[in-house]
Amino acid sequence: MHMQLSTQEMDGGITRVELDGRMDIAGAAAVDLKMNLVAGSAKKLLIDLQKVSFLGSMGLRSIVLPARAVLSKGGKVVIFAPTEMVASVLKASNIDSLLPIHNDLAAATAALQ
């Protein structure tokens, strides 16, 4: 299955980007451009990883690069609801120190305010 990416504008100026599929090298390549476009306009970015079944180091890069672009212009980014294995990749890479992980949507949106 190819990676799918969809976006939704939420209350409070939050952009929710939902990723769906395997974030391997092919999956990362499939969403790189769209992620960069989203990061170009979003100021409060919620990256929804609920439906991401795999995350490798190239996939991590496809999340961190656009996230840092948002952070560098004073924006905020949170990761929402990764699976246990995806969360363990984020934590092993220490990405969670840069991008907080929330499993509760209310807490995730509150962290972006």
**Cα 96 from Cα 7, distance rounded (Å):** 22
> What is the token pair recorded at 100?
């907080």
**Contacting residue, 7, 43, 54, 75, with another protein by CB under 8 A:** 54
Nearer to another protein, 26 or 110 (CB): 26
- # residues near another protein by CB under 8 A: 26
The answer to whether 93 contacts another protein (rule: CB under 8 A) is: yes
Dihedral angle sign, alpha carbons of residues 53, 86, 107, 74: negative
User: Which residue is associated with the tokens 């939420």?
Assistant: 10
> What is the token pair recorded at 26?
């092919």
State the minimum distance, in angstroms, from the CB of residue 28 to another protein. 10
Residue 5 to residues 17, 22, 73, 93, Cα–Cα distance (Å): 7, 11, 23, 23
The answer to whether 49 contacts another protein (rule: CB under 8 A) is: no
The answer to whether 100 contacts another protein (rule: CB under 8 A) is: no
Nearer to another protein, 43 or 68 (CB): 68
Interacting stretch for another protein, rule CB under 8 A, among 3-11, 17-25, 39-47, 105-113? 17-25
